Amino acid sequence: MIKSSSELVEQANKEINTISIDEAKKLHGRDDVIFIDLRDIRELDKEGRISGAMHAPRGMIEFWIDPASLYHRKEFSSGKKLVFFCAAAWRSALTVKTVKDMGLKNICHIEGGFGAWREQGGEVEQAILEQDKFSRQKKISQGLLELKQSNRLISQISFILEIDKLKQIIRQTKLLDKSRRENDAEHSWQLAMMALVLKEYAPKEMDILRVLKMLLIHDIVEIDAGDNPAFSQTSNEQQYEKEQIAAERLFGILPEETEQEFLVLWQEFEDMNSIDAVFARSMDRLQPFLHNYFNDGEMWLGYDISVAQVQKRMAVVEKASAPLHQLVQDIIEESADRGYLLS
């Protein structure tokens, strides 16, 4: 017999601490309390948020809590009281039971979840409602048709507006001033600039225009597929499957010949089956590598990364450029000497 989800929730509620909306309101805003929002990002966009709450999707929660995980978030080892919630207190009950079993203390969840919080006058930051991709594209199309533009231009502008979402995809790499993590759009721009500046170290037969196209295109799929950080536990196969679906949807917004061009370039970058693709991928590896080193090895130290792991990840640079490969080797050696990397 398979237990029903309601039975699991009922059992969890017998073993965990549940607080009322009134109790939650008293805790909200305190410096020693963190509210944890387990809902999907689409729910946040549609329904709003509790001010100051940390977003922690339930699917990643075990990895974010585990101090040994690459995804560990410091909020979960802060010692503060953690108040979990979801839409209706089902997911939060199961989550609190799980994190309790993992050893976390001083945890609870909100009775009735976000729905009850909102109904009983809890403070809510209203999100800007996002239309789904079809209605959004329809709205764009209608607006352009009113200006008597061609279908071709409609699809091109639709794509341009869609990739604005790339600015919202946050990566693990921090800016050099350590103030925040970069987003995918910033990353892609910097890679393109790196390729222009460092092209003298590439093979003479490399086509810099094709390299630039690959670098500007390669991460667009993360709008749908999400970022897969270096040294993560997500398999390359799993990520690739998600990115393939994303590439078909996103590039499919464009006119057919542009769609096919972008798909070919994206696939070439993934397969690294050309000189252009190898140099483009080496830029993609080199940029976060430099940030990790000049940020005092902060990310490497945080995840106990070893010399061997970094050498394996940076091996593509040797195929692209001997001088850049030597730079990488010198930095790895210096990083090991400074204790940034495990031996």
Structure confidence at residue 240 (pLDDT): 82
Based on the domain organization, do 189 and 276 belong to the same domain? yes
The answer on 174 and 215 residing in a single domain is yes
Domain end: 125, 151, 180, which one? 125
Sequence-separated (6 or more) residues with CB below 8 Å from residue 194:
283, 286, 287
**Model pLDDT for residues 170-195, shown as the tens digit of each residue:** 898 999 998 889 999 999 999 999 99
pLDDT given for residue 127 in this prediction: 57
- We report the CATH number of the domain holding residue 92 as 3.40.250.10
User: Which of 325, 329, 304, 305 lies closest to 316 in space, CA to CA?
Assistant: 325
At residue 157, the pLDDT reads 86
Q: Are residues 147 and 33 in the same domain?
A: no
195 falls within a domain: yes
In terms of domains, do 47 and 157 share one?
no
CA distance 193 to 326: 21
Q: Locate 101 and state its tokens.
A: 């079993």
Whether residue 300 lies inside any domain: the answer is yes
Domain annotation covers residue 281: yes
Whole domain around residue 153: which residue ranges? 131-168
Q: Give mean pLDDT, residues 201-223.
A: 96
- What does each C-alpha distance from 241 to 218, 225, 230, 246, 273 come to in angstroms? 15, 9, 17, 9, 19
pLDDT value of residue 133: 53
Lowest mean pLDDT among 207-216, 227-236, 334-343: 227-236
- pLDDT at position 130: 45
Same-domain status, 327 and 202: yes
Last residue of a domain, one of 90, 125, 160: 125
**Judgement on whether residues 117 and 146 belong to the same structural domain of the protein:** no
Residue 138 confidence (pLDDT) above 90: no
Number of domains in the chain: 3
Encode pLDDT of 74-103 as tens digits: 889 999 999 999 999 999 999 999 999 999
> Do residues 65 and 103 both lie within one domain?
yes
Position 343 in a domain: no
pLDDT at 12: 95
Q: How confident is the model at residue 129 (pLDDT cuts 50, 70, 90)?
A: very low
Task: Please check whether residues 213 and 150 belong to one and the same domain.
Answer: no
pLDDT for residue 141: 64
Per-residue pLDDT reduced to its tens digit, 33-68: 999 999 887 788 778 889 889 888 787 789 889 988
Tell me how far apart the alpha carbons of residues 65 and 18 are, in angstroms, rounded to a whole number. 20
Residues 116 and 46 grouped into a single domain:
yes
* Cβ–Cβ < 8 Å for 87, 39: yes
State the Cα–Cα distance between residues 249 and 268, nearest whole angstrom. 18
Spatial separation of the C-alpha atoms in residues 36 and 55, rounded to whole Å: 6
pLDDT reported for residue 312: 95
Residues 236-289: tens digit of each pLDDT: 777 888 898 899 999 998 999 999 999 999 999 999 999 999 999 999 999 999
Question: Is there a single domain that holds both residue 176 and residue 304?
Answer: yes
Whether 59 is covered by a domain: the verdict is yes
pTM beyond 0.95: the answer is: no
Same domain, 216 and 285: yes
- In terms of domains, do 249 and 328 share one? yes
